[in-house]
Amino acid sequence: MDRQDSATARFTLGRQSSLAPDPVVPVCDDDGVIDPRVRLMYLANEGDLQGIQDLLDSGTNVNFTDIDGRTALHVAACQGQTDVVHLLLRRGADVHLHDLWGSTPLADAVYYKNDDVIKLLEQHGAKPPMAPMHVENAREVPEYEIDPKELDFSNSVDITKGTYCIASWRGIQVAVKTLEEKVFADEYKVNAFRDELALLQKIRHPNVVQFLGAVTQSSPMMIVTEYLPKGDFCLYLKRKGALKPTAAVKFALDIARGMNYLHEHKPEAIIHRDLEPSNLLRDDSGHLKVADFGVSKQLIVAKTVKEDRPVTSQNTSWRYVAPEVYRNEEYDMKVDVFSFALILQEMIEGCLPFYTKPEKDVPKAYVANERPPFRASPKLYAHGLKELIEQCWSQDPFRRPTFKQIIKSLDNINDQYARKRRWKGMPLMCLQNLENMVKKGRSSPSSHSSPSTWR
C-alpha cells in the first residue's frame, strides 16, 4: 500500500509517536476489519515474528505508512521489540522515514529509552535527530562552541536539580546542563535552552555563575558553566539550619548584588523568575552566585512579561514563587524581590517557608496575603531586618524595593552589626579606661564656668 492509499488506515495500539504520543481512534473498513497492511503494524506491536514474516512473504510493503506516516519500524522502535526491528531491517525497512510529526524510528526509540533498538538502528545508518541550533555553514558556528569529545563524563555525578552533572574539560571540572534528543520536539524546552544560552553569554559578575561554552551543533545539546564544588545553598541550609544574622546578611548581600546586576543589565533587564536556594551556588570563598537561568526573561521593550503557559511545580518550587506568577498574570522584576525575602527569612528561621504546609498549598497562601510567621527571637531581626523582609514580600509589587535599595539597607544593617561586634570585642581594661575618662571629663571644670563654681 502506497502513501496515497494510507488515508484510510491508522495504527492505534501501544505507544504512539514520540512527538505526538496521544492515542487516536482506530480506523477500520465497513465490515470492521482492520486493513491487512495496517495489520503489519499491529503484529510489530505484539512482537509476532512469524505473523510479520508471513505478511511480508505475501507481498505486504515493509515500508507501508498509515495516515500518520507511521511504519511498522516506528511501532517496533517504540515498543522496544528488538527482534522485530532486526527482522524488519533485514527485509528492507527504511530507517530514515519521518512520521506526520517528524519523528523517525530512532527518535522514538530514544524517547522511550529502548537502548538495544537504538544501537541496532544506528548500526543500520540511522542518525540521531539534528540539533535544533545546528548550522550548515561552518563560519556560522558560534565562538562559544565546545567539541563534545573534549567533555569527559567518566567520573560524572548529578548535581543540583539533576539537570546538571560534573564533567572534566581542558583540565578543570565543569558543570554541564544537557538537553536530550527526546525533548527536541518540545518547542518550549528548546526555546528555554536558547534563551538561557543567550543570557549566559551576556552576563559577567562575581555573584553570577560563569558561562564557559556550549554544545549546539550536535546532540545532545549542552551548556557548560563553572563548577562550584561547595554545592548549592539549599543543601547548605539543610546542613546548617538557622544562620547567625551576620552570616545571613552576608549571604543576602551576595544574592542582592548578583540580582541587582541582572535587573540593571543593559539594554535588557533580566528577570530570573526562579530564585530559590537550589539555584544559588557557593564558591570556594563561601560567597554565593546566582545560577540556572532556564526560565529567565528579558525585559526588552515591555515593562512586564507573562508566561507562555502556566507555571507548574515541575518548573519551579512553589515555596518561593510570587503570587502574580502563580496567578499567571503579567509580572516584572519584583517577583525576584519576593523570592529573595523568603530566602532571607529562611536563613534566620532555619526552616522552609510555610514548612508545615504541603508545597502545593503554599502559593495559595501567598495569594491570600499570608506570609511565613516570624518565630525566631526578635533580637535576630535587629536593625530593621524584619521590616526589610516585610517590604520585599509585599502583596503589591510596586511597594517592594529594588535590589539597589535592598543592598543599601543590608549595608546599613551590616555596619550596625559590625559596630556591635567592635564594642563586644573591646578589652575590659579599655572599657574601664574609657569609663574613667568619661568620669574625669564630667568632673573637670568647664572653661566657661565661673571661678566660684570650682569650689
**Would you please indicate which residues are annotated as catalytic (active-site) residues?**
274
> DSSP string of 324-379?
HHHTT--B-THHHHHHHHHHHHHHHH-S-TTTTS-GGGHHHHHHTT------S-GG
Write the burial class of residue 90 (CB in 10 Å: 0-12 exposed, 13-18 middle, 19+ buried): exposed
End-to-end alpha-carbon separation of the chain, Å?
126
Asked if 406 and 389 touch (Cβ cutoff 8 Å), the reply is no
DSSP-based three-state secondary structure for 37: helix
Q: Which residue has the cell 522552609?
A: 352
| Sequence-separated (6 or more) residues with CB below 8 Å from residue 379 | none
Asked if 96 and 126 touch (Cβ cutoff 8 Å), the reply is yes
> CA-CA distance, 208 to 197, in Å (whole number)?
14
Asked if 323 and 366 touch (Cβ cutoff 8 Å), the reply is yes
Asked if 195 and 202 touch (Cβ cutoff 8 Å), the reply is no
| Sequence-separated (6 or more) residues with CB below 8 Å from residue 32 | none
> CA-CA distance, 215 to 146, in Å (whole number)?
5
Please give the single-letter amino acid code of residue 83: D
Asked if 11 and 70 touch (Cβ cutoff 8 Å), the reply is yes
Contacts by residues 174-177 (CB-CB < 8 Å, ≥ 24 positions apart): 174/212, 174/224, 174/225, 174/226, 174/227, 175/209, 175/224, 175/225, 175/226, 175/227, 175/228, 176/151, 176/222, 176/223, 176/224, 177/222, 177/223, 177/224, 177/225, 177/294
Asked if 203 and 195 touch (Cβ cutoff 8 Å), the reply is no
What CA–CA distances, in Å, run from 374 to 63, 245, 256, 347? 67, 14, 21, 12
DSSP-based three-state secondary structure for 1: coil
> CA-CA distance, 334 to 403, in Å (whole number)?
9
For the sheet with 211-215, list strands across it.
158-159, 164-169, 172-179, 221-226, 211-215
